[in-house]
Amino acid sequence: MSWEELQLLYWLDLFGVAVFAISGVLAAGKKSLDLLGVVIIAVVTAVGGGTTRDLLLNRHPVFWISDPSYLSVIIIATLATIWYTRHMEPPQKALLFADALGLAVFTITGAQITQGIVSSDVIIVIMAAITGTVGGLIRDVLTNKIPMILQRDIYATAALAGATVYLLLFQLTRLPSSVSIITGMFVVIGLRLAAIQWELHLPRFKLEE
């Protein structure tokens, strides 16, 4: 990968952290936590996925320990969101789009990091999805809800599909890696936005009691 691509991914990753922090603040805002509780939820939402990936892959130092810029971005995004929501309605539609972009970024950067450590394609795709979704899962557990990704909306599905497309293009074609990256991200974003727009769901599974 070229230096410009690495730079772009780093900036996108910081953007993803900011977006997920914002979604953490908005989730926390429905539970009447105190201000530090809101910050904690925002941090956990933003770094939970990448931290779980790093621990499972024995990748140390964990990303936010080796580069505290992530924490700075999270704190700034959190405070800005708290300030903003005191004065204005949160722009729900823009946020859904930003969240889809955050999911796409985390999924593809998760796949790339795992590619450097593990050779199994299945594990790469799983770690990509873990990077994208576990932060939101921990956020939901801490605010005492059944995690959203288990229930709805083609969320983990979009991450798995995008990571798979990225990996297939990367391995089977001679396209530049930036094309694989962008296509994988488009798959994630496209599936998420389509699911939101047309209320697509996977079938539910419910046993009779």
What is the binding site for its own copies (CB under 8 A)? 25-26, 28-38, 40-41, 51, 55-58, 60-62, 65, 68, 71, 82, 85, 90, 118, 120, 122-123, 126, 137, 141-147, 149-152, 156-157, 160, 201-207, 209
Which amino acid is present at 78? T
Q: Which is nearer to its own copies, 25 or 46 (CB)?
A: 25
At its nearest, how many Å lie between its own copies and the CB of residue 115? 14
Q: Which is nearer to its own copies, 58 or 197 (CB)?
A: 58
Q: Which is nearer to its own copies, 108 or 134 (CB)?
A: 134
At its nearest, how many Å lie between its own copies and the CB of residue 68? 5
Q: Which is nearer to its own copies, 144 or 197 (CB)?
A: 144
Look at the chain and count its residues. 209
At its nearest, how many Å lie between its own copies and the CB of residue 81? 10
Q: Which is nearer to its own copies, 98 or 134 (CB)?
A: 134
At its nearest, how many Å lie between its own copies and the CB of residue 67? 9
**What's the N-to-C CA distance of the chain in angstroms?**
53
Could you tell me which residues come within 8 angstroms of residue 64 by beta carbon, excluding any fewer than 6 positions away?
47, 50, 51, 70, 71
Which amino acid is present at 125? V
Q: Is 120 exposed, middle or buried (0-12, 13-18, 19+ CB in 10 A)?
A: exposed
Q: Using CA atoms, how far apart are residues 140 and 179, in angstroms rounded to an integer?
A: 34
Q: Which is nearer to its own copies, 28 or 113 (CB)?
A: 28
Task: Say if CB 49 and CB 106 are below 8 A apart.
Answer: yes
Q: Using CA atoms, how far apart are residues 1 and 123, in angstroms rounded to an integer?
A: 22
At its nearest, how many Å lie between its own copies and the CB of residue 195? 11
Q: Check residue 60 and report its DSSP letter.
A: S
Virtual CA dihedral for 113, 117, 118, 119, nearest 10 degrees? 90
At its nearest, how many Å lie between its own copies and the CB of residue 3? 25
